[in-house]
Amino acid sequence: MRVSRERITKYINEIIQCTRKIEDILSDIEGSEERDILALKYLVIEIAEAMANILQHILAKKYGITVKGYIDTVVRAEENKIISRELFLKIKPFFDFRNSLIHRYWKIDDELFLTNVKQGYKDFLRFIDEIEKLID
C-alpha cells in the first residue's frame, strides 16, 4: 500500500495555517483574554487532529497498523520510528490536551495551557520536518 503525498500535504498545510494563527495570537495577546484562549484551544485541537490523521495514514498504509484513538496513534508512531522519541515527548501533551478538552473541557487550566502553547507551538513545525523527511 502506498502513502498518499497529496493527503499528507493537505494535513501539513492545515498544521502550517493553524500554527501561523497561533503565532499571530501569541504576538498580540494581552494577558489571557478568554477569546484568545478559546481560539488557541481550537487551533491546538485542529493541529492535533491533523497530526493524528497524518500518522494514522502512514501507520495504516506503510505498516498495516490500525490504531485506537489519538493517543494510540502518536504512541504507535513513536514506536515505529515515524517520529522521534524527543518529538513524541514534546507533542504528546498536546494530544492529551486535545482529549481532555474534547471529553472533559472544564478541567483545563488556562494559564498552564497558555504557557504550554507558548513553549511548544514550534514543535508543530518540527513534526512537519520529520514527516517530510520520512516521506521523501
In tens, the pLDDT along 71-122 reads 999 999 999 999 999 999 999 988 888 877 777 655 678 888 888 999 999 9
Taking all residues of the chain, what is their mean pLDDT, rounded to a whole number? 90
Which pLDDT does position 16 carry in this prediction? Answer: 98
* Closest of 19, 14, 96, 22 to residue 54, by C-alpha: 14
CA atoms within a 13 Å half-sphere pointing along the CA-CB vector of 131: 30
Q: What is the CATH number of domain 5-135?
A: 1.20.120.580
- The 3-state DSSP class for residue 70 equals helix
- How far apart CA 30 and CA 75 sit, in angstroms, is 35
Do 22 and 121 contact (CB within 8 A), yes or no?
yes
* Closest of 57, 69, 64, 71 to residue 10, by C-alpha: 57
Where in the chain are the domains?
5-135
* Closest of 53, 56, 51 to residue 121, by C-alpha: 51
Which pLDDT does position 82 carry in this prediction? Answer: 96
Which pLDDT does position 95 carry in this prediction? Answer: 87
CB neighbour list of residue 81: distance below 8 Å, 6 or more residues apart = none
Please state the pTM of the whole predicted model.
0.91
Specify the range with the lowest mean pLDDT, choosing from 3-12, 94-103, 119-128: 94-103
- How far apart CA 92 and CA 67 sit, in angstroms, is 15
- How far apart CA 124 and CA 118 sit, in angstroms, is 12
